Chain A
Amino acid sequence: DAKTTQPTSMDCAEGRAANLPCNHSTISGNEYVYWYRQIHSQGPQYIIHGLKNNETNEMASLIITEDRKSSTLILPHATLRDTAVYYCIVRVNSRDDKIIFGKGTRLHILP
């Protein structure tokens, strides 16, 4: 079973910031938080990942709570092309980790 819980779906107005929450209350100290998205039926695309500190790249920002039990992916200026299913996963960066995706959040960007 996936170790994360996410809302099934969310709406966001175009041009606004999209904030996608993820709970991972059983995360262990050596597990990273990863975010991926899947547009239509393409292969999932990597967005960002982090361990403890907040991270930012050209696509998004990742805010991880101090206790690491939850995180938020922020798309600062959502566009229609950001409509996708967003997956939050936790994993250990070890040789033998298998990567399990949950149901993700279906994000609808509204014009």
Chain B
Amino acid sequence: EADIYQTPRYLVIGTGKKITLECSQTMGHDKMYWYQQDPGMELHLIHYSYGVNSTEKGDLSSESTVSRIRTEHFPLTLESARPSHTSQYLCASSGSGAWTGNTIYFGEGSWLTVV
């Protein structure tokens, strides 16, 4: 079982509100990722981090921002939510280096609905 947790699992929020999706892992992984996925569609990488104070944009442009102040924590923030942000957001983490240490583990996802 992977020790990676996302909160909230489900969130319905009004347009213009600021939201933060939380992601924590207790595996000591250096690398963390955020993916966005609409129902029935493919996963899109929106942010990733190689370690503390490292953040990079993914392949899909996103209005969200991320921070990595602590190894175990990788929150995603939307300053002003819009209906187009309605989606599932999946957080993941991965170790580095060893053969068995590079499996990527996913959280259960956060379903965001902006009304």
Residues in chain A within 8 A of chain B (CB atoms): 32, 34, 36, 38, 41-46, 49, 87, 91, 93-96, 98-104
A44 to B108, CA, bound (A): 9
A103 to B56, CA, bound (A): 23
Residues in chain B within 8 A of chain A (CB atoms): 30-31, 33, 35, 37, 39, 42-43, 45, 48, 50, 56, 58-59, 88, 90, 92, 94, 96-97, 99, 102-109
Q: Are B104 and A99 in contact (CB under 8 A)?
A: yes
Q: Are B59 and A100 in contact (CB under 8 A)?
A: yes
Residues of B within 8 Å of A49, CB to CB, are 102-103
Q: Given A93-B97, A98-B58, A100-B59, decide whether A43 and B42 contact each other with a Cβ distance below 8 A.
A: no
Residues of A within 8 Å of B48, CB to CB, are 98-99
Residues of B within 8 Å of A99, CB to CB, are 33, 45, 48, 92, 94, 104
Q: How near does chain B come to A88, taking the closest CB pair, in angstroms?
A: 13
**A and B contact pairs by CB, cutoff 8 A, 18 listed:** A36-B104, A42-B106, A43-B106, A45-B106, A46-B103, A46-B104, A49-B103, A87-B43, A91-B102, A93-B97, A93-B102, A95-B30, A98-B58, A98-B59, A99-B48, A99-B92, A101-B42, A101-B43
Residues of B within 8 Å of A93, CB to CB, are 96-97, 99, 102
Q: Which has the most chain A C-beta neighbours within 10 Å: B31, B43, B94?
A: B43
Q: Are A43 and B103 in contact (CB under 8 A)?
A: no
Residues of A within 8 Å of B109, CB to CB, are 41-43
A36 to B59, CA, bound (A): 19
Q: Given A98-B45, A99-B33, A104-B42, decide whether A43 and B96 contact each other with a Cβ distance below 8 A.
A: no
Residue of A36, A87, A94, A103 near B96 (CB, 8 A) is: A94
Q: Are B45 and A100 in contact (CB under 8 A)?
A: yes
A46 to B106, CA, bound (A): 9
Q: How near does chain A come to B99, taking the closest CB pair, in angstroms?
A: 7
12 more contacts with CB within 8 A, not counting A34-B103, A98-B33, are A34-B104, A41-B39, A42-B106, A44-B90, A44-B106, A46-B104, A46-B105, A93-B102, A96-B50, A98-B59, A99-B94, A101-B43
